[in-house]
Structure 1
């Protein structure tokens, strides 16, 4: 390896002067301390969705890679840098670094960022590849690294970036699987559709009513009445207007949950137009915008998906499309949703969980007859991924089960044990964390009533909660 390194450097020293010499010197300076990559990440973070997740994953990969290269690689494997007289003066840096040559931190950071971005946004990662390669090569061209320093640095960076998926799995682009519906009608121009439109969902001052009127000119648009429960309003409206062929909703997950409850009760197909902030249900369904929704409506393409229900004490049955939760989980969700636009969902979820666990009080409960003390509980409609700290998406929407997770408070140092398990990616070997799938679960709170959150919104207080999965309860339009 040493012979090959010297041979390449000596051969490259014979190359004639070119405009690449000053350009590569400027590029290598621009990548000092990862300034180039952090700047790109800042620009990417201004866009929501995959670009923001790519930026967060990229900066996380750089942070871990820097710790490995500077904290482990360089101290344990010291190596002299190339002698200055091996290369022409025009290519050398004015102030060459004095630390160990092995491995190349510039190459490691470039590979870490590019690999991490490619995991979230493959096309963007491919576009960044030539830039990352140029940064890596610039270190050899400037005479501050041997070629093998660059190769091993790039390998370290790529490995660390891929390893982030152990704690932060990459969300797949494909929607959740579901059973095709055989009972849903195709409706042109929205004829027979009663559409609930919630202008307060999502971006401020963005009322989707005009767009929906153009796409579905024959649909009947209904707006929420202030101070009125959405479920009751929809039931009353449908009873007064006669026979509707389908129920639609344009809003966030709270509005979609209310419309889904009415549609499931009345046996109507549901049309979802995502106009909320996060649109978790619509994303799992594979409906990304109003055009997806109207295309599915016109073709009659639909699927059967599950819903979750919960009976609280002696109150009427409540429905949820995504999740329900008890204890500190509603507070965690509130903080996570507040911080997610700035930090990303996984980092925001981790920070919110630490904040909630630090101030939470143990809740004595009976879960299906077994006495426990818990800090918080999560109940998902169908199995969520990842199976750890931050459940984010559903591979299937028709499993007929509930994803039940809770953190035990009846073990010594349970909070510390859980946090250590989450950080090391070893929650499944941690007794403080319980995750199981059931079609029903009964939770009896042996103390003061606690809050129930459904689809991220705190709704009721109670002591007895009977959760159940409703297999194929909802017919919902989805493009093929």
Structure 2
């Protein structure tokens, strides 16, 4: 191996002097301490979506690969760097590093960042890959690493980048499967469409009303009382309207859930316009912008999706499109959403989980007749992925199951054990974590009444909760090119 390294360096040293020499020297210095990749990540993070997720995953991968190469591999496997006389003077660095040559931290960071970016955005990764390869080669070209240093460093980087999927699964590029609906109303100008716009959702300085009325000039705008119960107000407005064949809603998941409740009861197809902050339901549905919605409404293209339902303490049934939760879970989601814009979703989720578990009090409940102490409870409408502590998307919108997850408080050191299992990717081997898929759930709170949260909105408190899922309860417009289930 040493002979092969030396032969490669001598072969490289024989290259004629070109403009590439100062360029590679500048590139290798720019990549010191990951500065190049952090700058690229800042650019990618400026826009929501795959590029921002790519940037965050890339930064996490750099941190992990740097720790492995600099804190573990270099001290354990020290190696002298190539002799300066092997290369011409104009290619040498003015201040070469004096740490162990093996493995190359530059190559590890470049490979880790590129691998992570490729998993979230292959097109961006293809643009970055040649730069990463140039950074890796620059370490040999400037005489500070042997080729095998670079090769092993790159292998570490690729491995770390791929390993992030264990804790942070890659969201599929395609939307969730859903059954095609029978023909629903086709509306180009919006005649027969009732439109609800929550201007308080999403960006604070952007009111989508003008854009949506331009899309559907004939739509009937609904004006519910903002101080009243939105579901009751929508029913009142629709009772007074004539010729409504579909309901459209622009807002966040809480607003969409209220509109879905009304649409399901009245058997109206629902058009979802993603103008909220996170738009979980729209993303799972495959609706990315108002133009997607308008195209589906014009084509009469829709799918059938299931709705979750919960009845507690004798109150009327409450429908939810995404999730319901009890205990510390609403607080965890609130903190995660507050912090994820600065740290990224998965680091924010981990920090929020630790914060909530540190401050939470155990809750005594009876779940289908079994008495348990728990810290928090999550109930998803359809099965969620990943199966860890931060469910993020649904592969199917009509599977007819509730995704039930809770953290037990009745085992020794439950919080510590759960946090360690979650951070190490070993939740399913932990006694503290329970995840089940079922058609219904009955839960009684034996301690103080708990507040119920549905789709991010805090409801009243209660003691007796009955959860169920209603398959194909709602018809929702979706562009025809999105995948459909058989």
- Deviation digits for residues 387-435 of structure 1, max 9, x if unmatched? 0021000000000000000000000000011011001101011110000
Q: How far apart in 2 are the matches of 1:224 and 1:15?
A: 74
Secondary structure of the structure 1 residue equivalent to 2:161? helix
Aligned-pair Cα RMSD in Å: 1.0
* Structure 2 residue 46 is matched with structure 1 residue 57: no
- Deviation digits for residues 247-303 of structure 1, max 9, x if unmatched? 110111011000000000111100111100000000000001110001001111100
Q: How far apart in 2 are the matches of 1:340 and 1:68?
A: 26
Q: How far apart in 1 are the matches of 2:57 and 2:270?
A: 35
Q: How far apart in 2 are the matches of 1:253 and 1:343?
A: 22
Partner of 1:98: 98
Secondary structure of the structure 2 residue equivalent to 1:365? strand
* Structure 2 residue 239 is matched with structure 1 residue 239: yes
1:243 positional shift: 3.8
Partner of 1:220: 220
Contact 2:183 2:300 in 1 (8 A): no
1:318 positional shift: 0.4
Q: How far apart in 2 are the matches of 1:205 and 1:91?
A: 53
1:230 positional shift: 1.1
1:76 positional shift: 2.0
Partner of 1:291: 291
Q: How does 1:56-455 map to 2 (within 5 A)?
A: 56-455=56-455
Contact 2:111 2:157 in 1 (8 A): yes
Partner of 2:465: 465
User: Given the two structures, how large is their TM-score scaled by the length of structure 1?
Assistant: 0.99
Secondary structure of the structure 2 residue equivalent to 1:191? coil
Contact 2:181 2:302 in 1 (8 A): yes
Q: How far apart in 2 are the matches of 1:414 and 1:143?
A: 52
Partner of 1:35: 35
Secondary structure of the structure 2 residue equivalent to 1:188? coil
Q: How far apart in 2 are the matches of 1:94 and 1:405?
A: 57
Q: Where does the alignment leave 5 or more consecutive residues of structure 2 unmatched?
A: 481-486
Secondary structure of the structure 2 residue equivalent to 1:234? helix
- Deviation digits for residues 350-388 of structure 1, max 9, x if unmatched? 111111000000000000111100000000000000000
- Deviation digits for residues 23-54 of structure 1, max 9, x if unmatched? 11111111111111112212222222222211
Q: How far apart in 2 are the matches of 1:316 and 1:243?
A: 28
- Deviation digits for residues 47-69 of structure 1, max 9, x if unmatched? 22222211111111011101111
- Deviation digits for residues 425-448 of structure 1, max 9, x if unmatched? 010111100000011001100021
1:213 positional shift: 1.2
Contact 2:192 2:219 in 1 (8 A): yes
- Deviation digits for residues 219-244 of structure 1, max 9, x if unmatched? 11113422011111110011111341
Contact 2:224 2:234 in 1 (8 A): no
Q: How far apart in 2 are the matches of 1:72 and 1:395?
A: 39
Q: How far apart in 1 are the matches of 2:101 and 2:11?
A: 20
Contact 1:48 1:341 in 2 (8 A): no
Contact 1:197 1:224 in 2 (8 A): no
Partner of 2:483: none
- Deviation digits for residues 109-157 of structure 1, max 9, x if unmatched? 0000011111111111110011101110110000011111111110110
Q: How far apart in 1 are the matches of 2:52 and 2:347?
A: 12
1:97 positional shift: 1.2
Q: How far apart in 1 are the matches of 2:423 and 2:258?
A: 36
4+ residue stretches of structure 1 with deviation over 6 A?
none
Q: How far apart in 2 are the matches of 1:13 and 1:296?
A: 61
Q: How far apart in 2 are the matches of 1:61 and 1:174?
A: 24
Instruction: Give the length in aligned residue pairs.
Output: 480
1:183 positional shift: 4.3
- Deviation digits for residues 175-197 of structure 1, max 9, x if unmatched? 00010001422222111011111
Q: How far apart in 2 are the matches of 1:271 and 1:11?
A: 64
